[in-house]
Amino acid sequence: MTKHYILSVDPTAKYDWDRCTLRDPITANRPDLAELIAEAVGEAAGSYLVSVNIEVQVLEQTAPNAQTKRLLPSDLDAAVRSQRVQLEELAA
């Protein structure tokens, strides 16, 4: 059984339980690992000694505290003026 989750690691998180979180990428719910193992065992009542192998493969990583650059109106005005000058030079 292959499941995909998003692991978030934040050593500076305010609460211990937020320092390392595992979430479903679609629902953002935290997985119930006992329930996943029970699905693999079946529905028969009883106690089971189980062996669980976890293989982790990083599929994608985002930069920590990635911040996108915010454009200010003055930046946009400068870009528009630059493009206007270039167009005027091409038209001349």
SS (H, E, C) the chain: CCCCCEEEECCCCCCHHHCEEEECCCCCCCCCHHHHHHHHHCCCCCCCCCCCCCCCCCCCCCCCCCCCCCCCHHHHHHHHHHHHHHHHHHHC
Question: How high is the pLDDT of residue 60?
Answer: 86
Domain locations in the chain? Answer: 1-44
Note the pLDDT of residue 52: 86
d(CA 75, CA 77): 5
Provide block-wise average pLDDT over 10 residues at a time, the chain (92 residues). 86 87 90 87 87 87 63 59 68 66
Cβ atoms 8, 23 nearer than 8 A:
yes
